[in-house]
Homo-oligomer: A and B are copies of this chain.
Amino acid sequence: MKNNILVIGLGYVGLPLALSLSKYYNVYGFDKSIKRINDLKKGQDYNKETLKKEIKKSNIKLLSNEKDINNQINVFIVTVPTPVNIKNKPDIRNLISACKLISKKVKKDDLIIIESTVAPSTTENICLNLISNNSKIKKKDLNICFSPERINPGDKKNNLKNLNKIISGNSSKSIRLAKNIYEKIAKKVVIADSIMSAELAKITENAQRDLNISFMNELYKICDLYKLDYKHVLSLCKTKWNFIDFEPGLVGGHCVPVDPYYLIEDIKKKGLRSDVLVASRKVNENFVDYISKKIIKIIKNMKHTNMFFYGINFKDNVYDKRNSKYFLIFKNIKKVYSKKITLGDDIIFKKKIDLKKYNMMIIGSKHSETYKMINKFKGNKKSKKIIINIFGNLKLSSDKNLKVINI
Instruction: Give chain B nearest CB distance to A86 CB in angstroms.
Output: 22
Interface residues of A in 191-220 (CB under 8 A from B): 192-194, 196-198, 200-201, 204-205, 207-209, 211-212, 214-215, 218-219
Q: For residue A204, which residues in chain B have a CB less than 8 angstroms away from its CB?
A: 219, 233-234, 237
Q: Is the CB of B233 within 8 A of A277?
A: no
Give the docked Cα–Cα distance between A194 and B232 (Å). 10
Q: Is the CB of B243 within 8 A of A208?
A: yes
Instruction: Give chain B nearest CB distance to A115 CB in angstroms.
Output: 14
Binds B, one of A7-15, A176-184, A268-276, A375-383: A268-276
Binds B, one of A22-30, A100-108, A279-287: A279-287
Copies in the complex: 2
Q: For residue A349, which residues in chain B have a CB less than 8 angstroms away from its CB?
A: none
Q: For residue A166, which residues in chain B have a CB less than 8 angstroms away from its CB?
A: 236, 239
The verdict on A229 contacting chain B, using a C-beta distance below 8 Å, is yes
What is the size category of the interface that chain A forms with chain B? 35 or more
Q: Is the CB of A244 within 8 A of B241?
A: no
Residue of A150, A188, A234, A274 most packed against chain B (CB within 10 A): A274
Instruction: Give chain B nearest CB distance to A70 CB in angstroms.
Output: 34
Q: Is the CB of B241 within 8 A of A274?
A: no
Give the docked Cα–Cα distance between A233 and B51 (Å). 35
Question: Can you list 6 A-B pairs with a CB-CB distance of less than 8 A?
Answer: A166-B239, A197-B229, A200-B223, A205-B237, A205-B240, A221-B272
